Amino acid sequence: MKAITKHYTKGDVTIVWKPEQCIHSTVCWKGLKEVFNPNKHPWVDMEGADIERIKEQVSHCPSGALSYIVDNKEVTADNIQTEVVTSVEVMKNGPLMIYGNITVKDNKVNILHKNKVTAFCRCGASSNKPFCDGTHIKIGFRDE
């Protein structure tokens, strides 16, 4: 199946959304409902806020499903370095969130450098292990 990528443009900035990466954390629309509204089609309204506010909200996307392109360079959570101490948060009925710069070695011995926020699967059903892909919502995963 071909991966879907959606683009939403305002001026010199394009918001990029990759639905397959989305973990449905709701960070985007809870933080900026004027732009991100999952009940509308299209769900991204670039006229809802100024571009700096939109870029700021996109930078909080924990999965990297949202990013933006400016000056022909894509800015994602993975290429924004953060200087915070690495911390871990268990999301209720959801993924394990790691905040900070980490290195991940997967079961195929690939080494990935993740920055800012990384979501790890806790339900065991992700198609993108070890990372969360939002499947926990589809299967009704609940904390015990």
Residue 63 has pLDDT above 90, yes or no: no
- In this structure, the answer to whether residues 30 and 67 fall within a common structural domain is yes
- In this structure, the answer to whether residues 105 and 71 fall within a common structural domain is no
Residue with tokens 């360079």: 73
Task: Among 76, 95, 115, give the residue marking a domain's end.
Answer: 76
In a domain, 115, yes or no: yes
The DSSP bridge pattern shows strands 87-90 and 102-105 to be unpaired
Nearest-angstrom CA–CA distance, 86 and 102: 8
- In this structure, the answer to whether residues 49 and 94 fall within a common structural domain is no
Nearest-angstrom CA–CA distance, 26 and 62: 10
In a domain, 32, yes or no: yes
Residue 53 has pLDDT above 90, yes or no: yes
- Beta-bridged to residue 66, according to DSSP, are 17
Determine if residue 124 is left, alpha or beta; phi over 0 gives left, psi from -120 to 50 gives alpha, anything else beta.
left
Domain enclosing residue 115, as ranges: 87-139
Percent of the chain at pLDDT exceeding 70: 92
Task: Among 42, 76, 110, give the residue marking a domain's end.
Answer: 76
Percent of the chain at pLDDT exceeding 90: 40
User: 66-119: per-residue pLDDT in tens?
Assistant: 999 987 777 765 555 545 578 899 999 999 998 888 889 877 888 888 877 889
- In this structure, the answer to whether residues 23 and 64 fall within a common structural domain is yes
Instruction: For the sheet with 73-75, list strands across it.
Output: 6-10, 13-17, 66-70, 73-75
In a domain, 133, yes or no: yes
Task: Among 29, 54, 76, give the residue marking a domain's end.
Answer: 76
The CATH number that applies at residue 51 is 3.30.70.20
Q: Which residues of 37-59 are buried (b: 16+ CB within 10 A; e: fewer)?
A: beeeeeebbbeebeeeebbebbb
- In this structure, the answer to whether residues 109 and 131 fall within a common structural domain is yes
* Number of domains the chain is built from: 2
